Amino acid sequence: MAEELLDQARDLVDGQIDFEGQKLAELLTTVILSAIGLVAFVVGFFLQDIALALKIGLAGTALAFVVIVPPWPFFNRHPVKWLPIGGGAAAAATQQNIVIDEKMFAQH
């Protein structure tokens, strides 16, 4: 039973994220932290309360952490399709063509 719980926790933490998901995560991080920083500065400036500004900034950072760090499924909408492992009989039978500077080369 403990092993099943450990496997579920491992599956939750070991999520996948693709290259487009990384780009989205970087964009979300920049937008969330910039917006929260601006809001914290404006509120702290107008209310003249540095403690409130720091609390808003800390809450916004926690929000960014919750949105960005877990491997949410929307970060893996474009999974990478890797080439098959070479060296086997199937790989020896297939021929791949590579185009470099408009010249085609056959790779075995």
Q: 97 has which bridge partners?
A: 106
Question: Alpha helix (H) ranges present in the chain?
Answer: 2-13, 19-47, 50-68, 89-93
User: Average per-residue pLDDT in the chain?
Assistant: 84
Say whether pTM exceeds 0.85: no
Q: Where are the domains of the chain?
A: 1-75
Of the ranges 8-12, 60-64, 88-92, which one carries the lowest mean pLDDT score? Answer: 88-92
pLDDT confidence tier of residue 14, bands split at 50, 70 and 90: confident
CB 59 within 8 A of CB 43: no
What was the pLDDT predicted at 108?
53
Residues in contact with 21: Cβ distance below 8 Å, sequence separation at least 6, in sequence order: 74, 75, 76, 77, 78
pLDDT confidence tier of residue 85, bands split at 50, 70 and 90: confident
- Kindly state the tokens that stand for 78: 């474009």
